[in-house]
């Protein structure tokens, strides 16, 4: 069973001994510690009394370690090195910033840019919470959020529009191979329509509700189905611009449906945001909206 920590000597006494043992001088140790020579000598005497062993030979021109002092200094120095290393690691820890986003924003905009964020803000560790549920900044310990929001916001919040909702119809190029684009509304209705929770197909096509097709509770799932060639998805242009440019999706119609609300970056109103939170806020404004 290890010795009880209650029997450990005071930390100041151990510091005085360690520095005195390295410097072999109470005067030099006092200069390093920023205290008086008498204070160092008193701390060392108290340590020797606590341990009931002599650690130094007091000589006319300095100090010499006793055999017990020599072996003790090795272990005490190792302990202080361990403390210094642990403290340094703690002080070099990354600043954690928590951002709450919808799963589609996470999958289509944020995650593909995490490498850019790490390169731009190497001292920041971004914690992403992907959820459709609105976050409570205090309860959920969230620093920033990206949500569909309308201005004006509550008085305790501030926000910045990241991008508008401009809906376009997209599908895998393999799904519409041989078809002449763009397609009109009647041609679109003949294809399998993929519905998300917002289900803007009736407004986009100018028809009543009740359009058939697979339904998903998240836009990102409908887009995954479109990428797999399962049908046509209706999604915000911001979420599909990268896939369209890469040729993984094609826009089937020239129509763009502008709907509200907008995607906004939101945080609590405060004059004392952490520097890391301010840095991620500015990065999101600059880099999340698709070019």
Q: What is the CATH number of the domain that holds 56?
A: 1.10.10.10
For 110-158, the DSSP string reads IGGGHHHHHHH-TTEEEEEEE-SSPPPTTTTT-SEEEEEE-SSPPTTEE
Contact by Cβ (8 Å): 192, 231: yes
CATH of residue 109: 3.40.190.10
Helix axes 219-227, 237-245, angle to 10 degrees: 20
- Please state which of the ranges 86-100, 115-129, 170-184, 224-238 shows the lowest mean pLDDT: 86-100
What mean pLDDT do residues 3-18 have? 86
What mean pLDDT do residues 37-58 have? 95
In angstroms, the CA 157 to CA 223 distance is 31
Residues 83 and 110 in one domain: no
Residues 173 and 155 in one domain: no
> Does the pLDDT value for residue 1 go beyond 70?
no
Residues 24 and 78 in one domain: yes
Contact by Cβ (8 Å): 20, 31: no
pLDDT of residue 195: 96
Domain interval for residue 66: 5-91
> Does the pLDDT value for residue 237 go beyond 50?
yes
What mean pLDDT do residues 179-183 have? 95
Percentage, residues of the chain above pLDDT 70: 97
What mean pLDDT do residues 49-72 have? 94
Q: What backbone torsions phi and psi does residue 194 show, to the nearest 5 degrees?
A: -100, 125
- Please state which of the ranges 88-97, 172-181, 223-232, 235-244 shows the lowest mean pLDDT: 88-97
Q: Where does 34-66 have alpha helices with state H?
A: 37-51
What mean pLDDT do residues 180-207 have? 94
Question: Considering its fold, how many domains does the chain have in total?
Answer: 3
Of 35, 60, 38, 57, the closest CA to residue 48 belongs to 57
Question: Going by C-beta distance under 8 Å and a sequence separation of 6 or more, which residues neighbour residue 74?
Answer: none
In angstroms, the CA 275 to CA 272 distance is 9
Residues 12 and 52 in one domain: yes
**Domain limit, last residue, from 57, 91, 125:** 91
> Does the pLDDT value for residue 226 go beyond 60?
yes
In angstroms, the CA 248 to CA 227 distance is 7
Average pLDDT of the residues of the chain:
92
Residues 31 and 175 in one domain: no
Question: Going by C-beta distance under 8 Å and a sequence separation of 6 or more, which residues neighbour residue 75?
Answer: none
- Please state which of the ranges 28-37, 42-51, 206-215 shows the lowest mean pLDDT: 206-215
Confidence bin at 157 (pLDDT 50/70/90): very high
Question: Going by C-beta distance under 8 Å and a sequence separation of 6 or more, which residues neighbour residue 223?
Answer: 104, 108, 170, 233, 235, 239, 240, 243, 249
pLDDT of residue 210: 78
């Amino acid at each position: 069973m290890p010795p009880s920590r209650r029997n450990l000597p005071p930390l100041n006494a151990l510091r005085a001994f360690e520095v005195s043992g390295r410097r072999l001088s109470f005067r030099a140790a006092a200069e390093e510690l920023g205290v008086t020579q008498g204070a160092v000598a008193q701390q060392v005497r108290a340590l020797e009394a606590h341990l009931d062993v002599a650690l130094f030979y007091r000589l006319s021109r300095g100090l010499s370690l006793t055999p017990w002092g020599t072996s003790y200094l090795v272990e005490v120095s190792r302990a202080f090195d361990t403390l210094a290393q642990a403290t340094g690691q703690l002080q070099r820890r990354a600043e954690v910033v928590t951002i709450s986003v919808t799963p589609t924003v996470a999958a289509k905009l944020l995650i593909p840019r995490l490498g850019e964020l790490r390169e731009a803000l190497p001292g920041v560790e971004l914690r992403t919470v992907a959820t459709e549920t609105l976050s409570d900044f205090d309860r959920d310990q969230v620093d920033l959020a990206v949500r569909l929001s309308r201005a004006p916001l509550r008085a305790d919040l501030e926000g910045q529009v990241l991008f508008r909702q401009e809906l376009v119809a997209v599908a895998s190029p393999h799904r519409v191979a041989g078809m002449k684009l763009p397609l009109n509304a009647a041609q679109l209705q003949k294809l399998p329509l993929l519905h998300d929770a917002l289900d803007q197909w009736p407004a986009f096509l100018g028809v009543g509700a009740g359009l058939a097709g697979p339904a998903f509770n998240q836009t990102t799932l409908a887009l995954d189905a479109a990428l797999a060639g399962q049908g046509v998805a209706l999604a915000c242009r911001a979420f599909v611009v990268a896939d369209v440019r890469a040729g993984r999706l094609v826009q089937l119609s020239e129509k763009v449906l502008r709907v509200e609300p907008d995607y906004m970056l939101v945080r609590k109103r405060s004059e004392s945001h952490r520097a890391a939170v301010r840095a991620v806020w500015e990065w999101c404004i600059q880099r999340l909206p698709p070019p």
